[in-house]
Structures are given as C-alpha cells and as structure tokens.
Amino acid sequence: MYRDHNCGELNIKNVGETVLVAGWIQKIRNLGSMSFVDLRDQFGITQIVIANNNELLEKAKELVTECVISVSGKVVERSNKNTKIPTGEIEIEAEEINVLGKCKNVLPFEVNSEKIGEAREDLRLEYRFLDLRNDKLHKNILLRSAIMKTLRRKMDELGFTEIQTPILANSSPEGARDYLVPSRLHPGEFYALPQAPQQFKQLLMVSGFDKYYQIAPCFRDEDPRADRAPGEFYQLDFEMSFAEQEDVFNVLEEIFTTVFKEHTTWEVDEAPFKRIPYREAMEKYGIDKPDLRNPLIIQDATELFKDTEFNAFKEKTVKIIVVPEGASQGRKFFDSMTEFAKEETGANGLAWVKVEAEGYTGGIAKFITDDVKKGLEQEYNVKLNDAIFFIADELQKAQKIAGQVRIELGKRLDLLEKNVYSFCFITDFPMYELSDEGTIDFNHNPFSMPQGGREALENKDPLEILAYQYDVVCNGYEMASGAVRNHDPELMVKAFEIAGYSEKEVETRFGALYNAFQYGTPPHAGAAPGLDRMVMLIADSDNIREVIAFPKNKKARDLLMRSPSTVTDKQLEDVHIKVDIKEK
C-alpha cells in the first residue's frame, strides 16, 4: 500500500520499472518548471524528479522537509549521476505523490545538517525523535542492534544460556545509591532496582545452571558524565560455574575480539590481552584504566631527589614523565600545562625542565644537580631534546595528578596511536579501601574471593588484601568488570565483617545468597562488559548519549518524556508515601 521498494535499493537495473517508494523529504529544490526531492528512509536516499506535470508541481510547492510522502513513478537513468550513494545512477519520475505525515514548516533544528552539533543538546534531547533521524545518530542505534546480535550469537556459541533476572529486586552494596520503588501491597517497604544482577546470577550457579548470560539493564543513582549514562545502563552480564579467573579471561577475550573485529575497520588487539596489576597501573599510568595508545610512562624519582634542596620536593613522593623530543615545545606550552595541572587536577603546580644542547633549561633547572642529571640520564633514559615534567605530593595524590598530566600530554602532543583498540586486563585489585570517614569499606565488588582466602582475612592488614577482581580496559575506558566469587558462607561473613557488617546484617541484607550457600555451591566467576560503552567506542564517539536511543541529559532528566515529574496525591497515597520537601 505504501511502498514496494525502499529508498536505498533501486539502481540502474531497475530503469523502466514503475515503483512505489515512501519516506521523509530530506531536501527540496524547486526550479520552476521542474522540482527535485531527496526522499530518505532508513535504507538510503532516492532522488525524485517532478516535471511536465503542473498538478504535481503545484503540490510540490506545498511540501516541506521532514514531512512523510509516498511517491509512485518510473525509474529513469540520471543524466548527472551521484557516485557517492548507491541509488545515484537513477531517479524516479513522479506520477503520483501522497502526503502520509505532515510536518510543521519550522523545525527546532536542521535534522540532517552538518551543523546539527551546533544545536543545543537539551533542545536535541527534547526533540529526540527528530534528532534520531540524523544519519550519524541513526546509524549508531542500528550499530547497537547489530552488536547485541553479535554478543548473543557469541555467547550462544560459547555454551551460555540466556536467562532474565528480576527488575524489582532488593538493595545491594554495589557502590552507588539505589533507585527505590515503594510497595503498595507492603506499606513502608521498598523494592530496589538492581544496580546489577549480581546476587541473582550467583543464585543461578547454585541452581545448577552451568553458564548464564543476559543483556541486563542496571540502575544506579549516580552523577552523569560523558562516558556514563545517568540512572540506567546495559551490560552483558555473565557467570560460569566451576570456573576460575583464567576461564573468565578467555571468554572476555573472545567477546571483545569478536565484536570489535566484526564492527570496525580499526586494528584490534589479539588475545591474550596484556595484564597489569592494579598497583603497577597506578605507578606507571596514575589511573586504573590506562590508555595504552599513549606511549608516555610515569616513573618514580623519589629516591633521586631524597637530598634535594628544592623545598617543593622535600619529603614528598616525586613522579616524573619524560617526553621524548618535548624540548621543541615553546614556553607557552609548558605554562599552559602548569595551568592545566593547577585548575584540573588540584596540583599546587607542575615543575618541568628541557634537556637542550646548553644543558637543562627552564622551569626548575637550577635545582637539577649534576648527580640528579646523571641519575635521570642513566636510570630514566633521559636524552638530549627531551622534556621532563615533575609532580611532587603524597603518594596517592601524586599518582592521580601524574595520571591526568600524562593523559593531557598525550592529547596535546598528539601522541596516541591512531585507529587501534588497545586492550588490557587490570588485575589484583585491593579487596578493601578506606572510606572518606576513615573506615574499612569494599573497594570493588563485595562478593569477590579474597586472595589467600580465610588466612588472609584473619591475619593480614585489610588494606593489603588483594581480591580476584579484574577489569577490561580499552583506550582509557573501563569496558568490563568481574571477579571470582566468594562462594563460602563462612568466608563471606568474615569478608563483610571486616567492612563493618555483622553476620545478622549479612543474613538480613543478603539472605538469599547466605542461605543458598549452605546447600552446596560450586566455585564460580563472571564479569559484565558494558554495552553502552562498547558501542560508544566502536562508533568512535566521545559522548555516550549518542549511542542510546532515548538518553537523559547531564542533569539526569528525560527532556522528551519530561521525567522525573511530580505525581498526584492519590498515587502517593496508594504507595503510602508522603512528600516532605524542604525549601532551599
């Protein structure tokens, strides 16, 4: 009734046929005695020509871009061919045009213009149904669908079973605030939307399912950022019985190499991926998600400066970044890097020197003694024409600042390797960390197996205990997180006890797992690659909202559906809730 061909499939072989196509008007060119219309659908663009038909020419004057029409007519060969599109050798001579969906004359922004990026993002999100007509965004959503199909195919090939877990669940300490859902049937009680299907997938292992997976929605009430959608995200969640860390690594390598090779032309790292212990990552890169395309390395020079007269370095951890050929940069570059360190990292400053033919120059050159020069050249491979940046502070702050400076140097000096996906595993995360209040808290996943088992929990300093926890990192983004699980109920109680939970609290908050573990639990392990971030990298986008069909804005609002929103008193009464908002 509406079409017998789409707008991307007609070619020179169809010349002479009478066809029916339908789509959105992308462009109209009225030339008086002749009009041209570029008709677009999901599959492509076909040019429509209107000529020698006064009735249709008059009708064409009333058409506007982005209205939906159907066109019947004969396929003819174009005189001015467009080799940039598959349908560029032909056009359709219109014989009948029907308007299927009217469009307002004035659009909030030009849908398929290269200037769409200049439109306010909040305006684009408010009219997301128009925004998604943009070719780039539209292809991102189609790419997401294709990636999901590849993931399901690969998991099926690897022997995993797809199983759905509940959305209305219970609160769990996954490191973020829960979204709570009040119960109508149980006054004063609440469900929590799952931050991850963690407990459910472990229970599936107890239930005898050998390998589970699902593309799972997860909900976390945390602040948005460019690489993380606020409120909700999707992950490829999987778990394996009778598995250890190596088994999970093999699956993760299969998943990432398969998906990235199928959906990109960039070079993709082959398995096995490089493995970097957490503490080494912090020492060399200043971050636990290092971008290995950046050749710069952070080195520790604390010992070299132990006798320094430079007050800023005294009794501090000193980190250095050697930039090969960096001495060619002008003073403005070094000053701007110092400003970056102060404004973006919280550093007090950023010391630097150049290694030039006349010696060490600029910055803190006068504090670089002959002994320090000798050490820099022999131990840190400093050469003529290099530049050296210095960061001095207490250990963790020095690592963090150096990590951010390394990233910024890589960007500004264009050092990153092009068109490659560089993967690594970050392993051996600390089991615990100090909270802001100074108490012991879980560092990563609370259900992880501590390295050293019970003996480590009972005899080691909690902050020294490592866990069988791991991340997959690609091009500076955390792509997956996982762990070998703690499947021993006594060990589980002890692990939570160190983090301040009593056995009664463990029974209450994690009763299902605690109880299930009493009935024969296989060793198990798993991980969860992030779908949104995977699509973002493959689409070569730096904004995660561009690979989600209906994302929320930077303030966690859905401007299209206008949520969150107030509800009626009756709705609140049904779930036994009273709202008490204090005026600011």
Confidence of residue 308 (pLDDT cuts 50, 70, 90): confident
Task: Give the structural domain span for 77.
Answer: 12-101
Closest CA to 391 of 293, 291, 290, 296: 296
In a domain, residue 404? The reply is yes
What is d(CA 511, CA 492) in angstroms, rounded to the nearest whole number?
12
Q: Is 278 part of a structural domain of the chain?
A: no
Mean pLDDT of the chain: 94
Say whether pLDDT at 133 is over 70: yes
**Do residue 564 and residue 437 come from a single domain?**
yes
Report the pLDDT value the prediction gives residue 175, as an integer from 0 to 100. 63
pLDDT at 173: 58
Q: Can you read off the two tokens belonging to residue 70?
A: 């159907």
**Is residue 235 situated within a structural domain?**
yes
Distance from C-alpha of 225 to C-alpha of 536, rounded to nearest angstrom: 13
Is the domain of 433 the same as that of 412?
no
Mean pLDDT (whole number) for 241-262: 98
Residues forming beta bridges with residue 24, ordered by sequence position: 40, 68
335 in a domain, yes or no?
yes
Residue 212 is assigned to a structural domain of this protein? yes
Q: What is the DSSP string of 422-446?
A: -EEEEE--BSEEE-TTS-EEESS-T
pTM of the model: 0.93
Q: Assign residue 58 the CATH number of its domain.
A: 2.40.50.140
Together in a domain, 145 and 255: yes
Residues 59 and 156 in one domain: no
Answer whether residue 70 shows pLDDT above 80: yes
**Tell me: the pLDDT tens digits for 315-340?**
999 999 999 999 999 999 999 999 99
Scanning the structure block, which residue is given the tokens 């439109």?
A: 119
Report the range of poorest mean pLDDT among 105-119, 280-294, 418-432: 105-119
So what's the pLDDT on residue 495? 94
Residue 236, domain member (yes or no) = yes
The answer on 474 and 538 residing in a single domain is: yes
**Nearest to residue 199, comparing CAs of 516, 481, 471?**
516
Which residue among 416, 440, 460 closes a domain? 416
399: domain CATH number is 3.30.1360.30
Query: Alpha-carbon distance 112 to 80, whole Å?
Result: 23
d(CA 271, CA 261): 12
Environment class of 15 (CB within 10 Å of its CB; exposed 0-12, middle 13-18, buried 19+): middle
Question: Quick one: 548 and 431 in the same domain?
Answer: yes
Residues 453 and 543 in one domain: yes
| Residue 209 within a domain | yes
CA diameter of the chain: 92
Q: Are 20 and 80 in contact (CB under 8 A)?
A: no
Alpha carbons 21 and 48: distance in angstroms, whole number: 10
Q: Could you give the angle at the alpha carbon of 245 between the alpha carbons of 243 and 249, nearest 5°?
A: 105
Domain end marker among 416, 437, 460: 416
367 in the same domain as 316:
yes
- Considering only CA atoms, give the Rg of the chain: 30
Q: Are strands 267-268 and 420-421 parallel, antiparallel or unpaired?
A: parallel
Work out whether strand 423-427 and strand 274-277 pair parallel, antiparallel, or are unpaired: parallel
Q: Per the structure, how many domains does the chain have?
A: 3
Residue 258 has pLDDT above 80, yes or no: yes
Lowest mean pLDDT among 22-31, 290-299, 423-432, 436-445: 436-445
Selection from 489, 579, 471 nearest residue 529 by Cα: 471
pLDDT in tens, 82-100: 999 999 999 999 999 999 9
Whether residue 564 sits in one domain with residue 434: yes
Looking at the fold, whether 53 and 184 belong to one and the same domain comes out as no
Please say if the pLDDT value at position 81 is more than 80.
Answer: yes
Q: What is the CATH number of the domain that holds 548?
A: 3.30.930.10
Residue 521 pLDDT level (bands cut at 50, 70, 90): very high
Instruction: Identify the domain boundary among 397, 416, 435.
Output: 416
pLDDT given for residue 174 in this prediction: 57
Distance CA 204, CA 524 (A): 10
Band of residue 136 on the pLDDT scale cut at 50, 70, 90: very high
Q: Are residues 233 and 322 in the same domain?
A: no
**169 and 152 housed in the same domain:** yes
Is there a domain that residue 342 lies in? yes
